Amino acid sequence: MVHKIIIAFVIFTPLVLSTVINKVEKCNLPFSIKKEIESYKGFVTKIINSVNNQFKHSTYNHLDDFINAYGNRIAGSKNLENAIDYILRKSDLYNLENVHGEEVQVPRWVRGKESATLLYPLYKDLPMLGLGSSVGTPLEGIRAKAVVVSSFDELHKLSKILKGKIVVYNEKYSHYKETVVYRSDGASIASQYGAVATLIGSITPLSLATPHTGWQQYAENITKIPTACITKEDANLLHGMYKRGKPIYIEIKMEARTLTSAISRNIIAEIMGNKLPDKVVVVSGHIDSWDVGEGAIDDGVGAFISWNALAILKALGLTARRTIRTILWTAEEEGYIGAFAYAKAHQNETKNLDFVMESDTGIFTPLSFTYGGLPEVGCILQEILNLFTETNITNIQLSIDGGPDISKWISDGVPGAALFGNLEQYFWYHHSAADTMVAVQPDALDEVTALWAAVSFIIADLSFDMPKHLTSYEFKENDI
Amino acid sequence: MVHKIIIAFVIFTPLVLSTVINKVEKCNLPFSIKKEIESYKGFVTKIINSVNNQFKHSTYNHLDDFINAYGNRIAGSKNLENAIDYILRKSDLYNLENVHGEEVQVPRWVRGKESATLLYPLYKDLPMLGLGSSVGTPLEGIRAKAVVVSSFDELHKLSKILKGKIVVYNEKYSHYKETVVYRSDGASIASQYGAVATLIGSITPLSLATPHTGWQQYAENITKIPTACITKEDANLLHGMYKRGKPIYIEIKMEARTLTSAISRNIIAEIMGNKLPDKVVVVSGHIDSWDVGEGAIDDGVGAFISWNALAILKALGLTARRTIRTILWTAEEEGYIGAFAYAKAHQNETKNLDFVMESDTGIFTPLSFTYGGLPEVGCILQEILNLFTETNITNIQLSIDGGPDISKWISDGVPGAALFGNLEQYFWYHHSAADTMVAVQPDALDEVTALWAAVSFIIADLSFDMPKHLTSYEFKENDI
C-alpha cells in the first residue's frame, strides 16, 4: 500500500459517521435479517472445510508459483505485464467469467544503479533505496557535507546552513501515517533551503538494517533533488556523528529516472450472479508491487486471497444472487492509479456496486475489518463475522476507516470494507527486500481465504442490497 | 556470543545437578543468611535510585560514545586494540583499581571483499556474509551449479550429485543451538561429498533480508571450501527454484583469509575488597565483536553493564568485603579465546574466585538469571533477586545453565550466573549489520546496570563465601 491519505476520504468520513466504532455494539437489525444471515452458517462451515481440505494451502501455493515465476512487479515494467497475462490465463483455466484486462496509463519510474557512501569520518557503504519518482544524480554522483536532523522542526531551525548540503533525516517512528511524511515530503522541504539531496531513515517500526523504498512527491516550484531511504541504523550512526560535531561527507549516485508513461491493466474476473448479475460485490487487492523483494506481503496476499476466493467458489460450483467480481489493481504503489482509473471509467455503474472489499495490509494477526458506510453496514458485517466464531479467526473488529484502493467508491457512497492485518508487523516488511514468501504463513492464508470467499459470497447472495450512504463529496480531478 | 557448546560443561552439569530448576522452590537457607541478605534492601534501593537519577542513562551514553568512536571490533584488528586502550584509559579516569590488559594470542581472520551472485535463472545479487575461519575463493571466484537442501538428511541422500556443486542450505530455524550446526558444520559436511562452496540461510528466527555471520569450523582431513551465510529470503527463493527443477548457477567471490595470529588483551579493572581483597567476584562481558554492525547487542551491553557497574559503585564510594573485578574478554567470537586463556593463566587462583557473572545474550526482556553451582547457590541468588521486586525487573528465574565465557570456571567448581535476555529477539540482531545502538534501550540498560551492580556487590560483601561445588571434570587442552 502507498502512504497517501486521500483527502476526499478524510473529508468524507466525518460527514457520515462521527466516532470510531471498535465493536459494533448498538445494532437493531430486524430479526429477519439476522435470521437470514444466520442461515449461512452451514455455508461458512462448508467453505472453511473446503479450504482446509480440498484447497489446503492453495492460496499459498498459487502465490508461491506466481512469485517464483515473476518476483516483484513495478508499474511500467514488462514483468508486471507478463504477470498480469499469467493471472488472466489462470483465470480462464479456472473458468472464471468475463476475464479481461482493462488498460490504464501508469507512470514508469526506473531505479537503475544506485549507491550512497559515507566518505568521512569513516568509509562505509550506506545500503539505500531510491524513492519512487526521485530524480537521479549526475553521472559522477553528488558529494556533499551532510546535516542530520531528527525532525522538520530541527530542519527549519537550520535553514541557513542547508545550501549545498545533503540532508539526512533520522526521524523517530511513531505511526506510519505520521512518520511517512519524511519520506513523501522530505526532499521538497529540504530542497526549498537549497539542499542538494536527502537521505531518510527508513519508515518502519523495526529495522534489521533493511532499507525501505516508497513513493515520494515533489512540491511545485522546487528544485527536484535526489532522495532515498537508508537504514535506520545508518541514520542513527550519522546522527551520532553529527551530534558530536564530526564533519560528515557523503557521496550519492543514482541513475533513477522517470520514462514516458506505459500502459498497464487492471485484472477483472467474475462469477456472474444467478439472479441480479448487474449488481456486483468487488473483492480486490493490487497486482503491482515495488521493485524490491517479491511483493508477497504488499500485496501478493491481498491479490491472491481475492483471486483464489473466486477460484474456490467457482470450483465448488457456488453462484450467488449478485455477481462477485475480483479486481486486481495495477499501479497502486504510485498512488492508486489503477483503482482511480477504474472508478472513473466505470462511474456510471457505481449505482450497481453493492459492496467493495480490499486487502492491502497483509494478513498478520490480529486481523480486523474496517468499513466505510452507514452504521447498518457495520451491523450486517458483524452479524456475518459472527458466523466465523468457531474458527481461528478472532479479533475481528469493525472500525471506521477505508482501504486505499476502494476509498474512491466509499467516498461516492458505496459501502465497503478492508481486511486489516497487524500493521506493526506489516511495516517491518513493507517496500523492502524482506517482502518475500518467507513472511507468508500458508495456514494464515487459508484462514483469510475462507473468510474472504464466504463474506463476499454471503453479501452477494443476501436478499437485500447493502445500504448505501449519502455523501456531499464529489470526485475531483486532482484527487488522483 | 558464539555458538559452541563446551563439552566440558555439558558433561559437567548433570553430575552436579540433575534437573532443570525454573524457580528455586525448595530452599532451606538458614534464617541468619536470609536475614543478612534482607539487610541489603536499603542498599539495593540506593543503587536503583542512583542509576535512575545521578547516573541515568550513563551505561547507554558510555556505550554510545564508545560505539560511535570504534564501531565493530573483531579479534585481531587494530580497531579492537584501540577500543581496549580506550576502556583502559576510561577505567583509570573513573578511578578503578588494578586496571590493566592481559595479553592473549587471538586468531586473525579477515573478510575482505565478498559477493555472491545468482547468475541463472535470473541475475540477482545475493547479500551475504562470509563465515569466520572460511577460506576465500580464487580471485576469479567460483562459478557452479547449485543444489539446495533443507537439511543434512536431504544432503546425504543427494551425496552422489554434489561433486563440483555449490550447496545451499535452506534449513528451518527451530532453536539457535539446534540450527547453528548448519553454519558451523555445513561446509565440512558438504565438502566431504565434493561440494566446492556452501551458502547457508542465516541463523535467525526473524529475517528482514539480513545476512548473519558467525564462526564455523572445518573438520579434519576435509578440503576447506568457502562458506558464507545468505539471507533466509534468498535461501528460500533458491529452494523454490530448485524444487521446480530450474538449473541454478551462482558465482561466489570471497577474499576471506586467516592471517598469522595477533595479540589482543582481556581488560581487567577492580574495586578492591576492604576485608578479603584476595577473594573475588567477577562481572564480565566481551569487548570484541563481529566485523559487521556495531557489536552493540553482542556484547556491548554485556561489557558495559559490567564495566559501568564498577564505575558507579566506585563513584558512590562503595567497597565490599571482597574484590569486585570486571573482566572484558577478548576474542569471544572465535571460541572464548580470551576467557579460556585467562582461566588457564590464573588457574592457581581459582580457589579465590567466589562467584563469576557474565552477560552475553542481550538485555531484551524477559530477563532470566541462569546459574551453575549447588542448589544452595540458586537459593542465595533467589533471595538476593527478591530484593528487586519493587522495580521493573521481573521474570527473573533461576535455571541450570551457563554463560559461554564463564563456563570453564563453573566446570572447575566455581559457582556463577549469567544474565540471559530474551533469546528470540537477541538472535534477530545477532552477528549482523542490525546489531547497533538502534536496538539498545537506555532505560533497559539502567535496569540491568542496577541489577548487575547490586548483585555483584552483595555477593562480594556477604559474610560467607558462595558454596563451591565438587566436580570430577578436569580441564583438557582440546576443550579450547
Residues contacting A134, CB < 8 A, separation 6+? A109, A187, A216, A226, A227, A228, A254, A256
Distances (CA, A) of B169 to A96, B213, B428, B430: 40, 15, 19, 19
**CATH 3.40.630.10 placement within chain B:** 7-108+260-479
Q: What is the pLDDT of residue B10?
A: 30
What is the C-alpha separation between A150 and A23, in angstroms, rounded? 37
**Alpha-helix runs per DSSP H in B316-373:** 337-345
- List the single residue in A68, A71, A208 with the smallest CB-CB distance to B208: A208
The position carrying cell 495490509 is: A361
Cis amide prior to B299 (ω within 30 degrees)? yes
Cβ atoms of A270 and A325 closer than 8 Å: yes
Burial (0-12, 13-18, 19+ Cβ within 10 Å), A458: buried
Residue of A nearest to B121 (CA): A69
Give the fold, CATH level 3, of A112-255.
Answer: Glucose Oxidase; domain 1 (3.50.30)
The position carrying cell 537549497 is: A194
What is the C-alpha separation between A117 and A142, in angstroms, rounded? 10
Q: Which CATH class is domain B7-108+260-479?
A: alpha beta
> Closest Cα to residue B235, out of B165, B304, B149?
B149
Tell me the per-residue pLDDT of A375-429, one tens digit each, with 9 for 90 and over: 899 899 989 999 987 666 655 666 655 677 888 888 888 999 999 889 999 999 9
Verify whether the Cβ–Cβ distance B437 to A209 is below 8 Å: no
User: CB contact, 8 Å: A429 with chain B?
Assistant: yes
Active-site positions of B read 332
Verify whether the Cβ–Cβ distance A208 to B241 is below 8 Å: no
What is the C-alpha separation between A156 and A472, in angstroms, rounded? 38
What is the C-alpha separation between A360 and A365, in angstroms, rounded? 14
Could you tell me the three cell numbers for A478?
486532482
**CATH 3.40.630.10 placement within chain A:** 7-109+260-479
Q: What is the pLDDT of residue B403?
A: 72
Q: What is the pLDDT of residue B14?
A: 29
Strand, coil or helix: what is B334? coil
Give φ, ψ of A441 to 5 degrees. -100, 120
Q: How are strands ordered across the β-sheet holding B197-201? A: B124-125, B114-120, B249-254, B142-149, B166-169, B197-201, B227-230, B128-130
Buried b (16+ CB within 10 A) or exposed e, B368-405: bbbbbbbbbbbbbbbbbbebbeeeebeebbbbbbbbbb
Q: How far is CA A295 from the centre of its chain?
A: 11
Cα of A184 to nearest chain B Cα, Å: 23
Active-site positions of A read 332
Cis amide prior to B226 (ω within 30 degrees)? no
Residues of B in contact with A294 (CB under 8 A): 233, 237
Give the torsion through C-alpha atoms of A208, B182, B159, B240, to 10 deg: -20
- pLDDT mean for each 10 residues of chain B (480 residues): 42 32 69 97 96 98 98 98 98 98 98 98 97 98 98 98 98 96 98 98 98 98 98 98 98 98 98 98 98 98 98 98 98 96 94 96 89 89 87 62 78 90 95 98 96 97 92 40
User: CB contact, 8 Å: A441 with chain B?
Assistant: no
Name which of A123, A171, A208 to mutate to probe chain B: the one with the most chain B Cβ atoms within 10 A of its Cβ.
Answer: A208
Distances (CA, A) of B183 to B134, B199, B215, B251: 11, 9, 8, 19
Q: What is the ipTM of this complex?
A: 0.92
Residue pairs spanning A and B at CB distance below 8 A: 82
Say if strands B227-230 and A197-201 run parallel, antiparallel, or are unpaired: unpaired
Q: What is the pLDDT of residue A25?
A: 57
Distances (CA, A) of A275 to A38, A72, A319, A464: 21, 39, 9, 12
Interhelix angle A78-93/A301-315, nearest 10 degrees: 20
Q: What is the pLDDT of residue A12?
A: 30
- List the single residue in B240, B244, B436 with the smallest CB-CB distance to A236: B436
Positive or negative, the Cα torsion across A18, A23, A29, A32?
A: positive
Q: What is the pLDDT of residue A8?
A: 32
- List the single residue in B210, B232, B241 with the smallest CB-CB distance to A68: B241
Cα of B151 to nearest chain A Cα, Å: 17
Cβ atoms of A454 and A44 closer than 8 Å: yes
Verify whether the Cβ–Cβ distance B206 to A207 is below 8 Å: no
- List the single residue in A64, A232, A436 with the smallest CB-CB distance to B233: A436
Cβ atoms of A307 and A452 closer than 8 Å: no
Cα of A107 to nearest chain B Cα, Å: 25
Verify whether the Cβ–Cβ distance B236 to A437 is below 8 Å: yes
Cβ atoms of A62 and A93 closer than 8 Å: no
User: CB contact, 8 Å: B447 with chain A?
Assistant: no
Q: What is the pLDDT of residue A16?
A: 31
Beta-carbon neighbour count of residue A277 at 10 Å?
17
Residue A294, strand partner residues: none
Cβ atoms of B145 and B166 closer than 8 Å: yes
- List the single residue in A122, A233, A244 with the smallest CB-CB distance to B436: A233
Verify whether the Cβ–Cβ distance A233 to B68 is below 8 Å: no
- pLDDT mean for each 10 residues of chain A (480 residues): 42 31 69 97 96 98 98 98 98 98 98 98 97 98 98 98 98 96 98 98 98 98 98 98 98 98 98 98 98 98 98 98 98 96 94 96 89 89 87 62 78 90 95 98 96 97 92 40
Q: What is the pLDDT of residue A475?
A: 37
- List the single residue in A127, A209, A244 with the smallest CB-CB distance to B68: A244
Burial (0-12, 13-18, 19+ Cβ within 10 Å), A39: exposed
Q: What is the pLDDT of residue A466?
A: 96
What is the C-alpha separation between B55 and B62, in angstroms, rounded? 11
Residue A282 CB-half CA count within 13 A: 32
Q: How far is CA B407 from the centre of its chain?
A: 12
Verify whether the Cβ–Cβ distance A240 to B437 is below 8 Å: yes
Burial (0-12, 13-18, 19+ Cβ within 10 Å), A248: buried
What is the C-alpha separation between A380 and A321, in angstroms, rounded? 17
The position carrying cell 565438502 is: B191
Among 3.40.630.10, 3.20.20.70, 3.40.190.10, 3.40.47.10, name the CATH number for the domain at A7-109+260-479.
3.40.630.10
What is the C-alpha separation between A111 and A291, in angstroms, rounded? 8
What is the C-alpha separation between B299 and B308, in angstroms, rounded? 14
Tell me which amino acid residue A208 is.
L
User: CB contact, 8 Å: B210 with chain A?
Assistant: yes
Burial (0-12, 13-18, 19+ Cβ within 10 Å), A478: exposed
CA angle B137, B143, B145 (to 5 degrees): 130
Helix (H) or strand (E) holding B197: strand B197-201
What is the C-alpha separation between A350 and A471, in angstroms, rounded? 13
Give the torsion through C-alpha atoms of B230, B236, B242, B244, to 10 deg: -160
Residue of B nearest to A172 (CA): B438
What is the C-alpha separation between A72 and A433, in angstroms, rounded? 10
Burial (0-12, 13-18, 19+ Cβ within 10 Å), A376: middle
**CATH 3.50.30.30 placement within chain A:** 112-255
- The DSSP result for B372-422, as a single string, is ES-HHHHHHHHHHHGGGTTSS-----EEE---TTTHHHHHTT--EEEEE--
Could you tell me the three cell numbers for A442?
500458508
User: CB contact, 8 Å: A236 with chain B?
Assistant: yes
Residue of A nearest to B428 (CA): A208
What is the C-alpha separation between B86 and B128, in angstroms, rounded? 32
Residues of B in contact with A233 (CB under 8 A): 293-294, 433-434, 436, 438
